[in-house]
Amino acid sequence: MLRRLRRAAGVSSALFAKDETIVIRPDPARRAALAAAFAAALLPAPALAQNADAAAFPSRPIRMVVPYVPGGLPDTLGRIVAQRLGDAFKRPVLIDNRPGAGGIIGTELVARALPDGYTLLVADLGQTAITPAMTPKLPYNIRRDFAPVSLLGTSPFFLAVNSSTGISTLKEFVAYARARNGSASYGSSGVGSPHHLAMEMLRLRLGIELVHVPYKGSGQSTPAIVSGEVPALFTVLPTVSAHVKSGTIRLLGVASATRSAQAPDVPTFAELGVKDFVLLPSVSVLAPSGTPGPVIERLATEIGKAIRHPDSVQKLAAMGIDPVGSTPAEYAKQLRADIELFVQAVRASGVKAE
């Protein structure tokens, strides 16, 4: 009988001695289990639900919405990540292209989705910072309706000039513009594009006047600078690398915090005396606001592994993309900076959504 009592109470038999007072003491394992149960009982119901969701996540396929047609940079990075996430989660991760209204349709779809981690947005600066700065009356609010998950990658922006201008430095570029009394031009991939707004920000900080010549994408603006139709523009390196090697195009500065490994001889604008001019076109992942924190952390961790996988790094390098894979907090900080920067850029350019 005594043995049965001991076992039922989880009491160590070594605690019993003949003719001594019996003291019931649970063994360490039982004590730890009781403590854990007590702590869990003190958690509010939402916290328990979130922890349960995170532990079971994912239990079904994940959808990554790209608000553009297939083939663009967000789509390409989204597919690279989706493949590796699917392998890690043992669940399908599907790309859902929802183009329309300059990306607004797909972005709104995610903003209205259930905040459970199964619907994500793959976005570029157009959706996270430029469109909100240009279009105040959107059907969603990036800060309010989305939770940052991870920054996938960035692409350094270079100020490029046609070598026939004789410009070799940023100082000479300023002199070139001032000598033409506001008639010097520059190209971009379109009104409101990062290429356009980057030059407007630089123009404002350098105190020069330039005429904007918008083209329909880099497929038109790159040939324009190569031919000398426009003397300058902002660009990513892969689109002009062959022309840089041939000497047709010169790179004057890079709008990043540190020199780019893609062109280590090109100085940053900070080195050239232009402070706080960091503008990195990027692609990121966001979730609907209200998605449980543990789920977002799990997603960010696996996305970071996916984007930094050696195969992913190799593919991104060919596109001139630097892999990041940030934490949600790191991306939240970058997102705030991007939004503030492009609000300034839109004001400087005077551009408005049509």
Q: What angle do CA 237, 241, 247 make, to 5 degrees?
A: 125
For residue 4, the model assigns a pLDDT of 45
For residue 30, the model assigns a pLDDT of 57
Beta bridge partners of 95: 64
Tell me if 61-154+283-349 shares its fold with 158-254.
Answer: yes
Q: Which of 200-209, 278-287, 288-297 has the highest mean pLDDT?
A: 288-297
Q: Positive or negative, the Cα torsion across 183, 185, 190, 196? A: negative
Q: What is the mean pLDDT of residues 16-44?
A: 50
Asked if residue 62 has pLDDT above 80, the reply is yes
Confidence of residue 7 (pLDDT cuts 50, 70, 90): very low
Query: How many Å apart are CA 253 and CA 189, to the nearest integer?
Result: 19
Which of 31-45, 117-131, 302-316 has the lowest average pLDDT?
Answer: 31-45
Nearest to 155 by CA among 42, 69, 236: 236
Q: What is the mean pLDDT of residues 203-228?
A: 94
Query: How many Å apart are CA 53 and CA 285, to the nearest integer?
Result: 20
Q: What is the mean pLDDT of residues 105-112?
A: 97
Class of domain 158-254: alpha beta
Asked if residue 1 has pLDDT above 80, the reply is no
Q: What is the mean pLDDT of residues 151-158?
A: 94
CB contact at 8 A, 97 and 75: yes
DSSP state of 103: G
CATH number of 61-154+283-349: 3.40.190.150
- State what percent of residues in the chain have pLDDT above 70: 84
For residue 229, the model assigns a pLDDT of 97
What average pLDDT does the chain have? 87
Q: What is the mean pLDDT of residues 194-222?
A: 93
Of 265 and 29, the one with more pLDDT: 265
Q: What is the mean pLDDT of residues 194-206?
A: 92
Asked if residue 12 has pLDDT above 50, the reply is no
| Residues 6+ away with beta carbon under 8 Å from 103 | 67, 68, 123, 126, 127, 131
Query: How many Å apart are CA 10 and CA 24, to the nearest integer?
Result: 9
Alpha-carbon radius of gyration of the chain: 28
| Residues 6+ away with beta carbon under 8 Å from 108 | 138, 139, 140
Which of 49-58, 242-251, 260-269 has the lowest average pLDDT?
Answer: 49-58
Asked if residue 199 has pLDDT above 60, the reply is yes
Confidence of residue 15 (pLDDT cuts 50, 70, 90): very low
For residue 55, the model assigns a pLDDT of 73
For residue 20, the model assigns a pLDDT of 44
Summarised one tens digit per residue, pLDDT across range 328-352 is: 999 999 999 999 888 888 887 887 7
Burial 89-111 (b: 16+ CB within 10 A, else e): bebebebbbbbeebbbebbbbbb
Q: What is the mean pLDDT of residues 151-162?
A: 96
DSSP state of 127: I
Alpha helices in 27-127 (DSSP H): 28-42, 45-56, 73-89, 104-111, 125
Cβ neighbours of 142 (radius 10 Å): 23
Packed helices 293-307 and 310-318: angle between N→C axes, nearest 10 degrees = 70
For residue 344, the model assigns a pLDDT of 85
Asked if residue 48 has pLDDT above 60, the reply is no
Query: How many Å apart are CA 331 and CA 151, to the nearest integer?
Result: 6
Asked if residue 43 has pLDDT above 70, the reply is no
For residue 345, the model assigns a pLDDT of 85
Of 30 and 272, the one with more pLDDT: 272
Q: Which pTM does this prediction carry?
A: 0.79
Segments making up each domain of the chain, as ranges: 2-42, 61-154+283-349, 158-254
